[in-house]
Structure 1
Amino acid sequence: MSAQIFIMLLNPGIGALLAAAFFLLWLNQRDKTYVLYAAVGYAISATAFFVQDVAFRYIGSPLPMNAERVVSNLGFLLCGCCLCLAVLGRFSLRPPVLFLTAVTTAAMGGLLWYLFIEPSIAGRVFSVSSALGLIAALMAVKLWRVERKHLADRFLFWISAISAVNYLLRPVLILWASGDFGPNETFQSSLYWTTVQFSQPLISIAFALNLMVAIAIDLIGQLQREARTDKLSGLLNRRGFEDAAEALMKARGHSASPPVCLIIADLDHFKQINDTFGHSVGDAVIGLFGRHIASMATGEMIAGRIGGEEFAILLPGHEIQAARLFAESLRACPWDYWSGMLPDNLAASVSIGVSAAWPGADLYGLMNHADEALYDAKKAGRDQVRIYGASVDFPATLARLRR
């Protein structure tokens, strides 16, 4: 056994290790089907290189006319298709199944023609390499059109583009430099196949590492979102709300413009709801009111559940009366719409306090003022809105204006 076998085992070994790594990753992230595509792609690649370089060369071909090349090259094409599905799946892009099927079928047709009907190594090389180049070029074109948020995403684009150039131009350059690809018997020792054994591990590792980094970035982002999200209401939790609201207040600076208002809402008699109907009903009330807030809030608003039954909404660009109108719409929560999800004799309501920012105001000063207004609403009988520093009966005033 010569030392060359260890070189020939390089691509199968790398492919097997990467397949195992992606498969283990998929076992912990079963919702990410594209990770499984990557595992399958690298497993097929490892098998194809083993068949091409090791199995039939050292064991001997049991197939007539070196038909094992059909098996290995089909594997290379299927690997390209799986990796294409993996990359596009990461960006939730629609898989081009018809394109991949057509390219693979055409490549296999050319391979069979130049293997059995008009034997030609150049014909086989160009049939398979051109198909792999087109698949890589498709990935590059698709990635060019999507937003690439992270550096790893940009690298995926460039690796796809470089792979396309590699597959499409390398056979042309080698044929131009050497005149041919050598005889069939020594193809594994030819200049062309040597460049394959050198370039393919680099591309495979670079592609896999960047895809893994991109997956890791996704997972970190998901964990960060989960750490800032209240699962019961679907809104930000207190930490998430305070971080986002403080950032907005700091960006506003010490000026009085643009205006900012804060709403704090508190579910009335919530402990009594839990004691009477059980915590599952209390959780349902919180979830439904959180859904109501999410349906009312616009993109620039910051909404969160900051306590057991307490919610906060920061309204940038809102004057106090606009914030009051918004608070009234929150108070008019359509509990009857969800009557099937709540007991018939449950009369849920909410009290709300509103405060407006002043020059130099910080988040906690704004929250203290809104809390005081909320206390006024509770003291006045609950199920109403109060503005900090104002004693006007807004519903009565609004009714008079409508007359």
Structure 2
Amino acid sequence: MNGQLFISLLNPGIGLLFAAAFFLLWLNRREAYVAYASAAYVATAAAFLIQDVAPALPMELQRLPANFGFLLTGMLFAAAIIKRYALPVPWRAMAVTIAVAMAFFTWFLLVQPDIPGRIYSVSVGAGVIALMIVRALWPLDKPHLIDRVLFWVSALSAANLIVRPVVILTFSGGFDDYVGFQQSVYWTTVQFSQAMVSIAAAISLMVAVAIDMIAELRQQVDDDELSGLLNRRGFEAKAGAALRRSADDGLPAALLIADLDNFKQVNDSHGHACGDAIIAAFGAHVRAVGPDGMIAGRIGGEEFALLLPGTGIEAARQLAEAVRTGLAGACGDQIPPALTPTASIGLAANVPGTGLSQLMRQADEALYVAKRSGRNCVRTFTPAPVLLATA
């Protein structure tokens, strides 16, 4: 195998390896954007094989499918990145871009042969598609490093495709034939830069897939499927962190613990399906009336906790009353008409130095008071008075 053939097989080999890797990821995570990434690397491998390895056709017609493959690669990879963020994929704009690029390429291949013209046609077309990724991701928040990496890899790819041919062709001049073209500095930079960008893009998107999978697993571990809220583990982790942030910022916080009244009797009299419907309705009701930033979890069979960072005791009491009074209406026709579910709620406010476990004990004490007061009411934790010793 001579050196030129080895270089020619470099990009197809990289493409097929990444296509297989993304396909295996897709088998375990059936997300459309992963399938688009796999298809993109199949397209780039096929394009390079047609361009550099396959036999030449009359009038250099193999250039048409090869360069269409390059543009298709850009479109599929753009779709992969954009789809990962659940944004609408600009299929029509990308298809129009490919059609225009291929029209110019065909003109410079068959009507007015010009190698630089063909280079500009495909490079600018692919660069415009890469800019569509940049435009789609620009307004988004990028909370993770990988989000910023994907954005800048897309921007780098667009610059590589648009700026590189202009710079190199300006200083090196044109080409008389493809023999000179494939032995030129320009083609060497294409092979090298394309390989580097391809690897960077693939690794970045693979890391993004891994992060998405970890986030999904973490969500499954921390979430309560029935109520749609956090489970106890998830609530304690997130509420503890939020409570510490509130303390560090000097902000108040309040904690509500709600317990569905006579829940065992509901299950015994109406069945567990009815009880499950009440739990699900309570979770949906809490999510509907709760403020932004609220952390809510199901911490027991029929017991729920709501942490309200940055919220004072009066606002927390108003929310507790809204949760209590709206429960029956939230259940709607999901339960028997004769059944009116109620909830008792204990409320506690943090003071400097109060941790989550202590705040939960205080809200629990208030909840017991609500239960002893006849249920279906809200009670606030009141610290016991401090008795001063007398001489």
Q: TM-score, normalised by structure 1?
A: 0.88
Question: Which string of whole-angstrom CA distances, capped at 9 and with x for unpartnered residues, describes residues 100-135 of structure 1?
Answer: 122211111111111111112122112111211222
What is the 5 A alignment of 1:360-371? 360-371=353-364
**Structure 2 residue aligned with 1:352:** 345
Question: Which string of whole-angstrom CA distances, capped at 9 and with x for unpartnered residues, describes residues 353-382 of structure 1?
Answer: 222333432222222222122222222322
2:49 matched to 1:50? Answer: yes
2:378 matched to 1:385? Answer: yes
- Paired residue type of 1:178: S
Go from structure 1 to structure 2 and tell me whether the alpha carbon gap of 1:335 and 1:209 turns closer, same or farther (over 3 Å shift).
same
What is the 5 A alignment of 1:65-214? 65-214=59-208
Question: Which string of whole-angstrom CA distances, capped at 9 and with x for unpartnered residues, describes residues 166-207 of structure 1?
Answer: 222322333233322241345433332222222111110011
How far residue 77 of structure 1 moved from its aligned partner, in angstroms, is: 0.8
- Please give the alpha-carbon distance, in whole angstroms, between the structure 2 residues aligned to 1:248 and 1:124: 57
Q: Which moved more, 1:97-106 or 1:41-50?
A: 97-106
Q: Which moved more, 1:208-217 or 1:172-181?
A: 172-181
- Please give the alpha-carbon distance, in whole angstroms, between the structure 1 residues aligned to 2:160 and 2:345: 64
Contact 1:260–1:316 (CA<8 Å) still a contact in 2?
A: yes
**Structure 1 residue aligned with 2:326:** 333
- Paired residue type of 2:18: L
- Please give the alpha-carbon distance, in whole angstroms, between the structure 2 residues aligned to 1:127 and 1:318: 59
Partner secondary structure for residue 265 of structure 1: strand
- Paired residue type of 1:20: A
Go from structure 1 to structure 2 and tell me whether the alpha carbon gap of 1:286 and 1:42 turns closer, same or farther (over 3 Å shift).
same
- Paired residue type of 2:98: T
- Paired residue type of 1:346: L
Q: TM-score, normalised by structure 2?
A: 0.90
How far residue 274 of structure 1 moved from its aligned partner, in angstroms, is: 2.0
Note the residue ranges of structure 2 that are not aligned, 5 or more in a row.
384-391
Contact 1:254–1:359 (CA<8 Å) still a contact in 2?
A: no
**Structure 1 residue aligned with 2:34:** 35
Partner secondary structure for residue 311 of structure 1: strand
User: Which of the numbers 250, 270, 277 marks the counterpart of 2:263?
Assistant: 270
- Please give the alpha-carbon distance, in whole angstroms, between the structure 2 residues aligned to 1:5 and 1:327: 73
Go from structure 1 to structure 2 and tell me whether the alpha carbon gap of 1:167 and 1:260 turns closer, same or farther (over 3 Å shift).
closer
Go from structure 1 to structure 2 and tell me whether the alpha carbon gap of 1:260 and 1:70 turns closer, same or farther (over 3 Å shift).
closer
- Paired residue type of 1:7: I
- Paired residue type of 1:248: A
- Please give the alpha-carbon distance, in whole angstroms, between the structure 2 residues aligned to 1:274 and 1:322: 33
Contact 1:237–1:306 (CA<8 Å) still a contact in 2?
A: yes
Partner secondary structure for residue 303 of structure 1: strand
Go from structure 1 to structure 2 and tell me whether the alpha carbon gap of 1:380 and 1:128 turns closer, same or farther (over 3 Å shift).
same
User: Which of the numbers 236, 243, 246 marks the counterpart of 1:242?
Assistant: 236
How far residue 340 of structure 1 moved from its aligned partner, in angstroms, is: 2.2
Contact 1:182–1:190 (CA<8 Å) still a contact in 2?
A: no
- Please give the alpha-carbon distance, in whole angstroms, between the structure 2 residues aligned to 1:47 and 1:97: 21
- Please give the alpha-carbon distance, in whole angstroms, between the structure 1 residues aligned to 2:169 and 2:348: 76
- Paired residue type of 1:343: P
**Structure 2 residue aligned with 1:394:** none
- Paired residue type of 1:348: P
Q: Which moved more, 1:275-284 or 1:40-49?
A: 275-284
Question: Which string of whole-angstrom CA distances, capped at 9 and with x for unpartnered residues, describes residues 280-322 of structure 1?
Answer: 2221111111111111110132221111100111234444444
- Please give the alpha-carbon distance, in whole angstroms, between the structure 2 residues aligned to 1:17 and 1:154: 25
- Please give the alpha-carbon distance, in whole angstroms, between the structure 1 residues aligned to 2:283 and 2:368: 21
User: Which of the numbers 285, 294, 311 marks the counterpart of 2:287?
Assistant: 294
Go from structure 1 to structure 2 and tell me whether the alpha carbon gap of 1:325 and 1:77 turns closer, same or farther (over 3 Å shift).
closer
Go from structure 1 to structure 2 and tell me whether the alpha carbon gap of 1:145 and 1:356 turns closer, same or farther (over 3 Å shift).
closer
- Please give the alpha-carbon distance, in whole angstroms, between the structure 2 residues aligned to 1:182 and 1:149: 49
Go from structure 1 to structure 2 and tell me whether the alpha carbon gap of 1:9 and 1:147 turns closer, same or farther (over 3 Å shift).
same
Contact 1:304–1:312 (CA<8 Å) still a contact in 2?
A: yes
Contact 2:261–2:344 (CA<8 Å) still a contact in 1?
A: yes
**Structure 2 residue aligned with 1:220:** 214
Aligned residues: 384
- Please give the alpha-carbon distance, in whole angstroms, between the structure 1 residues aligned to 2:69 and 2:299: 55
Go from structure 1 to structure 2 and tell me whether the alpha carbon gap of 1:258 and 1:109 turns closer, same or farther (over 3 Å shift).
closer
- Paired residue type of 2:6: F
Partner secondary structure for residue 304 of structure 2: strand
Query: Sequence identity of aligned pairs in percent?
Result: 50
- Please give the alpha-carbon distance, in whole angstroms, between the structure 1 residues aligned to 2:149 and 2:95: 26
Question: Which string of whole-angstrom CA distances, capped at 9 and with x for unpartnered residues, describes residues 375-400 of structure 1?
Answer: 2222232222222339xxxxxxxxxx
- Paired residue type of 2:52: D
**Structure 2 residue aligned with 1:315:** 308
Note the residue ranges of structure 1 that are not aligned, 5 or more in a row.
391-403
- Please give the alpha-carbon distance, in whole angstroms, between the structure 2 residues aligned to 1:172 and 1:126: 8
RMSD of the alignment, in Å?
2.4
